[in-house]
Amino acid sequence: MGLTMTFAKDEEIYGQDEDADLIYRVLEGAVRTTRVMADGRRQIGDFYLAGDIFGLETGPRHRFAAEAVRDSAVLVVKASALRAAGGDIERLGWETTRRELERAQEHVLLLGRKTACERVASFLKDLSDKGGSPAVVDLPMGRQDIADYLGLTIETVSRMLSQLQSGRIVSFCATRQFRVVNPQGLARLADQAQ
């Protein structure tokens, strides 16, 4: 059920203010939701990896655009079709929206009250946890995306990554691959919040 579509790196999946009639699920790759201000400042709402559902996060119209972080495959389903097929869509939709809200609230805390170092640490921890804490975690997105998610600049992100590495918290095998050296240290930096 539904249609599989592929999107090239940086291709738009849906635009801001477009009708929100479709529900999406990442099959492969990674997706970001973005909001751009009149003067070009950009904020990333969230990242979605394989298995994640997105596109449901808003009202009748999308308030964020969605773009492929890199070449990605996405399953697209019409919300109305899904509704016709069975009533538990309401429940699924609510659950998904609720999880979105929880993530947005964590994001608010991060942006409102965490330092640059804590933000980057939180980001790495989140990504590591999300993947089931594998030995080596890879970053699907570039530094600019990370910066626009964390409310920082690429330079600050880069500096904090270097700092975390020299502090033996994480270790980068490549620019987009790291391992967590000191999980407790990472958690302490990330989760000062209860």
State which residue, 3 or 109, has the beta carbon closest to a second copy.
Answer: 109
Q: How far apart are CA 130 and CA 86, in angstroms?
A: 29
Q: Residue 118 Cβ, how far from a second copy at the closest point, in Å?
A: 9
# chain residues binding a second copy, by CB under 8 A: 39
The answer to whether 108 and 156 have CB atoms below 8 angstroms apart is no
The answer to whether 173 and 179 have CB atoms below 8 angstroms apart is yes
Residues 6+ apart with CB under 8 A from 40: none
The reply to whether 112 sits near a second copy by the rule CB under 8 A is yes
The reply to whether 97 sits near a second copy by the rule CB under 8 A is yes
The reply to whether 83 sits near a second copy by the rule CB under 8 A is no
The answer to whether 147 and 156 have CB atoms below 8 angstroms apart is yes
Find the binding residues for DNA in span 149-168 (CB under 7 A): 151-159, 161-162
* Residue 67 touches which member of a second copy, DNA, none, C-beta under 5-8 Å by kind: none
The reply to whether 75 sits near DNA by the rule CB under 7 A is no
* C-alpha dihedral (87, 25, 104, 35), degrees to nearest 10: -120
State which residue, 18 or 71, has the beta carbon closest to DNA.
Answer: 71
Q: Residue 184 Cβ, how far from a second copy at the closest point, in Å?
A: 14
State which residue, 60 or 166, has the beta carbon closest to a second copy.
Answer: 60
Three-state secondary-structure class, residue 123: helix
Sign, CA dihedral 111-153-169-102, equals positive
Q: How far apart are CA 8 and CA 160, in angstroms?
A: 30
The letter for the amino acid at 87 is: G
# chain residues binding DNA, by CB under 7 A: 21
The residue ranges that bind a second copy (CB under 8 A) are: 16-17, 35-39, 41-43, 45, 57-59, 63-64, 90, 93-94, 97-102, 104-105, 107-109, 111-113, 148, 150-151, 192-194
The residue ranges that bind DNA (CB under 7 A) are: 115-117, 142-144, 151-159, 161-162, 172, 174-176
